[in-house]
Structure 1
Amino acid sequence: MDWMARATSIVGGAMVLLRRGAAPKSQATGQSPTIPEARKQGIMTLKMPTAKGWVGDHKPTAAPGLKVNAFARDLIHPRWIEVLPNGDVLVAEALQEESPPRKLMDHAMQATMRRAKAIGQSPNRITLWRDGDGDGVAETRHVFVQNQNQPFGMAMVDGTFYVGNTDGIVAFDYTEGADRLQGPGRKLVDFKTGGHWTRSLIVSPDRSRIYAGVGSLTNIGDEGLEAEEGRAAIWELDLASGKARIFASGLRNPVGMAWQPDTATLWTVVNERDGLGDETPPDYLTSVQEGGFYGWPYCYWDRIVDDRVPQDPDLVARAIKPDYALGGHTASLGLCWMPDQTLPGFGEGMVIGQHGSWNRSTLSGYRMIFVPFAEGRPSGPPRDILWGFLSEDEKFSYGRPVGVAIGPDRRSLLMADDVGDVIWRVSAA
Structure 2
Amino acid sequence: MLKHILRVLALVIVVGGGIFAYMAWPDQAQVPIAAVEGQRPDITAPRIQTIPTVEVADAVGWPAGAKPVAAPGLQVAAFAEGLDHPRWMYRLPNGDVLVAETNSPPRDGGGIQAWVMKHLMGKAGAGVPSANRLTLLRDANGDGVAEQRTVFMTGLNSPFGMALMDGQLYVANTDALVRVPYTAGQTSIAAKPELVVKLNGGGNHWARNVIPAPDGKTLFVSVGSATNIAEKGMDAEKYRANILQVWPDKNWRIYAAGLRNPNGMALNPATGNLWTVVNERDLLGSDLAPDYLTQVEFGDHFGWPWFYWGGYPDKRVEPQNIALQEYSKRPDYALGPHVAALGLTFAPDAKLGDRWAQGAFIGEHGSWNRKPVSGYKVVWVPFGPNGYPKPGVKPVDVLTGFLSKDGDALGRPVGVITDRTGGLLVADDVGNRIWRVSAAGQVATR
So what's the TM-score if we normalise by structure 2? Answer: 0.91
Distance 2:74 2:106 in 1: 39
Distance 2:153 2:16 in 1: 39
- Letter of the structure 2 residue corresponding to residue 265 of structure 1: N
- 2:327 aligned partner: 318
- Letter of the structure 2 residue corresponding to residue 23 of structure 1: Q
Distance 1:9 1:164 in 2: 38
Deviation at 1:339, TM superposition (A): 2.1
Query: Do 1:8 and 1:105's aligned partners in 2 also have CA atoms closer than 8 Å?
Result: no
1:423 correspondence with 2:423: no
- 1:275 aligned partner: 283
- 2:138 aligned partner: 130
Query: Do 2:350 and 2:418's aligned partners in 1 also have CA atoms closer than 8 Å?
Result: no
- 2:231 aligned partner: 222
User: Helix, strand or coil: the match of 2:326?
Assistant: helix
- 1:388 aligned partner: 401
Distance 2:258 2:222 in 1: 12
User: Helix, strand or coil: the match of 1:117?
Assistant: coil
Query: Do 2:70 and 2:398's aligned partners in 1 also have CA atoms closer than 8 Å?
Result: yes
- Letter of the structure 2 residue corresponding to residue 307 of structure 1: K
Distance 1:236 1:190 in 2: 13
Worse-matched range after superposition: 271-280 or 24-33? 24-33
Change (3 A) 1:6 1:89: farther
After the TM superposition, list the runs of 4 or more consecutive aligned residues in structure 1 that deviate by more than 4 angstroms. 3-9
- 2:389 aligned partner: 378
Query: Do 1:8 and 1:108's aligned partners in 2 also have CA atoms closer than 8 Å?
Result: no
Distance 2:213 2:144 in 1: 29
**RMSD, aligned CA:** 1.7
- Letter of the structure 2 residue corresponding to residue 422 of structure 1: R
Deviations 1:73-113 (A, max 9, x none): 00000000000000000000111133244102322321221
Change (3 A) 1:256 1:278: same
User: Helix, strand or coil: the match of 1:39?
Assistant: coil
1:202 correspondence with 2:211: yes
Identity percentage of aligned residues: 47
- Letter of the structure 1 residue corresponding to residue 397 of structure 2: D
Distance 1:192 1:7 in 2: 38
User: Helix, strand or coil: the match of 1:200?
Assistant: strand
Deviations 1:217-253 (A, max 9, x none): 00000100011010000000122x3211110000000
- Letter of the structure 2 residue corresponding to residue 357 of structure 1: S
Deviations 1:299-322 (A, max 9, x none): 000300000012111222210000
Deviations 1:125-182 (A, max 9, x none): 0000000110000001011001100000000112110100000100101111011112
Distance 1:348 1:207 in 2: 23
Distance 1:265 1:131 in 2: 31
- Letter of the structure 1 residue corresponding to residue 419 of structure 2: G
Query: Do 2:105 and 2:206's aligned partners in 1 also have CA atoms closer than 8 Å?
Result: no
Query: Do 1:172 and 1:182's aligned partners in 2 also have CA atoms closer than 8 Å?
Result: no
Deviations 1:342-401 (A, max 9, x none): 31232310100000001212100000000000110000221111000012342x100001
Query: Do 1:356 and 1:364's aligned partners in 2 also have CA atoms closer than 8 Å?
Result: yes
- 1:35 aligned partner: 43
1:85 correspondence with 2:93: yes
User: Helix, strand or coil: the match of 2:330?
Assistant: coil
- 1:288 aligned partner: 296
Deviation at 1:6, TM superposition (A): 7.9
User: Helix, strand or coil: the match of 2:114?
Assistant: helix
Distance 2:223 2:211 in 1: 13
2:32 to 3, 9, 25: 25
- Letter of the structure 1 residue corresponding to residue 348 of structure 2: P
Where in structure 2 are the equivalents of 1:97-136 lying within 5 Å? 97-136=105-144
Query: Do 1:340 and 1:348's aligned partners in 2 also have CA atoms closer than 8 Å?
Result: no
User: Helix, strand or coil: the match of 1:423?
Assistant: strand
1:74 correspondence with 2:74: no
1:399 to 411, 418, 424: 411
- 1:180 aligned partner: 188
- 2:241 aligned partner: 232
Query: Do 2:350 and 2:423's aligned partners in 1 also have CA atoms closer than 8 Å?
Result: no
Distance 2:232 2:128 in 1: 24
- 1:302 aligned partner: 310
Query: How many pairs align?
Result: 421
- Letter of the structure 2 residue corresponding to residue 419 of structure 1: V
Q: Which protein has the bigger strand share? A: 1
Query: Do 1:24 and 1:278's aligned partners in 2 also have CA atoms closer than 8 Å?
Result: no
Change (3 A) 1:341 1:94: closer
- 2:348 aligned partner: 339
Change (3 A) 1:403 1:155: same
Distance 2:399 2:317 in 1: 37
User: Helix, strand or coil: the match of 1:316?
Assistant: helix
Larger Rg, first or second structure (1 or 2): 2
Distance 1:258 1:80 in 2: 13
Query: Do 1:9 and 1:108's aligned partners in 2 also have CA atoms closer than 8 Å?
Result: no
Worse-matched range after superposition: 241-250 or 91-100? 91-100
